[in-house]
Amino acid sequence: MSSDPAIQFRHVTKEYHVENAVLGGLKNLVLHLPTQIRAMRARKPFCALQDLSLEIAQGESLSVIGRNGAGKSTLLGLIAGVLRPSAGTVVTRGRICPLLELGAGFHADLTGRENIVLNGILLGLTRREVLARLDEIIDFSGLAQFVDRPLRTYSSGMTARLGFSVAVHLSPNILLVDEALAVGDLEFQQKCLARMQQFRSDAVTMVFVSHDMESVARVSDRVAWMDGGRLREIGPPQQVIEHYHAFVHPTVAAA
Ligand SMILES: Nc1ncnc2c1ncn2[C@@H]1O[C@H](COP(=O)(O)OP(=O)(O)O)[C@@H](O)[C@H]1O
Ligand SMILES: [Mg+2]
């Protein structure tokens, strides 16, 4: 294999156009004062990611931290290819397994088992390949008793279990995990972290978004701290986590 990076961002900017969403429908026109409407209409596209350049090496495990709205999910969406950059380029190499928003790609009326098959196919396996791994996936999820019930009867934690179980059984080259573990119980979280450690030693490239600094420290080679759509710092996990903590809790750090 070459030493080309697995993921490469070159001067990437992502803007969202919010006018329509904000003004959506007559109801808003009626409910808002005219001056507010004018202010909203005048608003420029919202810049969620600004001139970001970043390389993630093959086999590297990068965690992304930062406050809500910092641009973390946007970054993952661009890697997964579900979002397009407004400017700049994103290059990826290898098969990507995205574990993005909770339940994305799942259907409430299908059973857990049917959803596994559907997701496996959506993520690039043949039906035969998914069926060959079905037992293993169900076993990992710990949902054997529930797997023939419709997904709408699942809790958010159970849905996350299913999603993670599918993603980790697809032999990814690049695994993307966006806060998906947060809703799982502790036991499942530990199991997922162990699986991620294994991926790490198997040189799978990982990008992990989490607010749990303990997990972040455990699974990453580097940590990227995002703030306001920019990369504020990228470097060794302990160092970046420390700086982030000092930023979020300045008084605690000073004490
Ligand atoms: N589809 C969208 N339309 C408009 N704004 C969006 C959209 N998705 C995200 N944003 C905005 O972009 C910013 C970054 O969002 P996001 O990447 O989800 O942040 P994070 O994952 O770090 O919480 C936020 O201010 C958010 O409100
Ligand atoms: Mg997010």
The two tokens of residue 82 are 């579900």
Please calculate the CA angle 71-209-207 and round it to the nearest 5 degrees.
Answer: 105
**How high is the mean pLDDT of the chain?**
87
Four-way CATH pick for 7-95+172-254: 3.40.50.300, 3.40.50.150, 3.40.50.620, 1.10.8.60: 3.40.50.300
Cβ neighbours of residue 147 under 8 Å, at least 6 residues apart?
Answer: 111, 112, 113, 116, 138, 141
Q: Which pLDDT score, from 0 to 100, does residue 11 have?
A: 98
CA distance 123 to 177: 14
Q: Which pLDDT score, from 0 to 100, does residue 106 have?
A: 86
Cβ neighbours of residue 166 under 8 Å, at least 6 residues apart?
Answer: 116, 119, 120, 123, 137
Residue with the bigger pLDDT between 189 and 10: it is 10
What proportion of the chain, given as a percentage, has pLDDT over 90?
Answer: 61
Give the mutation target among 13, 14, 73 for probing the ligand 1 site: most ligand atoms within 8 A of CB. Answer: 73
Helix (H), strand (E), coil (C) string for 173-207: CEEEEECCCCCCCHHHHHHHHHHHHHHHHCCCEEE
User: pLDDT tens digit string along 178-231?
Assistant: 887 777 788 888 888 898 999 999 999 999 999 999 999 999 999 999 999 999
Centre of ligand 1 to C-alpha 196, Å, is 26
Please give all residues whose beta carbon lies within 6 A of any atom in ligand 1, as ranges: 16, 18, 46, 48, 66, 68-74
Q: Name which of 33-37, 86-90, 137-141 the model is least confident about.
A: 33-37
Q: Name which of 22-31, 74-83, 118-127 the model is least confident about.
A: 22-31
Atom 16 in ligand 1: residue holding the nearest Cα:
71
Q: Which pLDDT score, from 0 to 100, does residue 125 have?
A: 85
Cβ neighbours of residue 201 under 8 Å, at least 6 residues apart?
Answer: none
Residue 86 has pLDDT above 90, yes or no: yes
Q: Which residues surround ligand 2, an ion (CB under 5 A)?
A: 72-73
For 79, half-sphere exposure in the C-beta direction (CA atoms, 13 angstrom radius) is 37
Cβ neighbours of residue 43 under 8 Å, at least 6 residues apart?
Answer: 18, 19, 22
Please calculate the CA angle 223-224-228 and round it to the nearest 5 degrees.
Answer: 150
Q: In what order do the strands lie in the sheet with 7-16?
A: 46-56, 7-16, 87-92
Atom 5 in ligand 1: residue holding the nearest Cα:
16
